[in-house]
Amino acid sequence: MGFTREELKAKRIGVLMGGLSVEREVSLRTGAAVMKALGGAGYDVVAIDAQKDLPERLRAERVEVAFIALHGRYGEDGCVQGLLESMFIPYTGSGVLASAAGMEKVFSKQVFIAHGIPTPPHRAFVDPQSALAETDTLPFPFPVVVKPSREGSSVGVHICRTRDAYRAAVEDAAKYAGRILVEQFIKGREVQGAVLDDEALGVIEVVPGREFYDYEAKYQSGSGTRYLFPAPLPKEHYDRVNEICLAAHRALGCAGATRSDVIITASGDVYILEVNTLPGMTETSLLPKIAAGRGIGFTELCERLLMGAALKA
């Protein structure tokens, strides 16, 4: 499984980016950064915008290995992975099942619970009517977090402190993919743990300039968000976050790199929110920041991911 650098430099590498999801713009930035790094390191790379003609593009460009730089629906959820499997094109990251499980937050939470990995209590609803019907009977108090179950980059995520805010958030989340997920709000510090090639890389703390680490805080320059690596936590708490992120990565059956969203309370309780099976690789992304803190430069990180490319079905 996987390739050597020498083998990969003799192959045509397609960097799949853009795509059809609401995270298209972020994916284009990730793809551009990966193209620059791999091209500069001497790889034969071609940018592939993953539209409906993706199979034809892959054949026309004679792509032999795919570096998946997509985010969100059709790219992070097992769809593209299944296409690449059926075309016998090795690809980076997790396989079909792990990608699908990681993208569907309701299902991944069930996996975490089955493995004893702590995650906030939740309810899932198939439509806004059922979510609104239980406004006063949720099994946890306000504030709550409302989010679509199959989007990333904090798209459609709201912290709701009132019934009115809850109603608006439910209606917004219903516009996006998947079920409506309602979680108990856990007050604590927002940290992120990364795993690379089945090894915990470390933990970074995110100090948002906004109420929480939302889309604007993640991707807009000048958002005021600060990143602290290594996260300034007591050693036992830091180690616990690493342990939980690696456990979640393994529970879902992930490969390559993942980045997990975690909340740690003042008392040291750790809760995993979700696992990102295709972490962002933009200039503000957290996986490259964590890797850099461990002495792994951006080009080396891209190469590590590429060397793990394989068929996984």
- Of these residues, 43, 74, 219, 238, which one is catalytic? 219
Task: Say which CATH superfamily domain 102-118+187-301 falls into.
Answer: ATP-grasp fold, B domain (3.30.470.20)
Its pTM stands at 0.91
261 tagged catalytic? yes
Q: What's the pLDDT tens digit per position in 50-83?
A: 999 999 999 999 999 999 999 988 999 999 999 9
Residue 43 falls in the annotated catalytic set: no
Where does the pLDDT of residue 224 fall: very low under 50, low under 70, confident under 90, or very high at 90 and above?
Answer: confident
Q: What is the CATH number of domain 5-93?
A: 3.40.50.20
- The tens digit of pLDDT for each residue in 154-170 reads 678 999 999 999 999 99
* 280 carries an active-site annotation: yes
219 as an active site residue: the answer is yes
C-alpha angle 188/153/21, rounded to 5°?
160
Domain ranges for the chain, please list them. Answer: 5-93, 102-118+187-301, 122-184
Q: Which residue out of 14, 19, 23, 104 is catalytically annotated?
A: 23
CATH topology of domain 122-184: Dna Ligase; domain 1 (3.30.1490)
Please give the single-letter amino acid code of residue 201: L
Mean pLDDT computed over 301-313: 96
- Calculate mean pLDDT across residues 227-250: 97
Per the annotation, the verdict on 274 as an active-site residue is yes
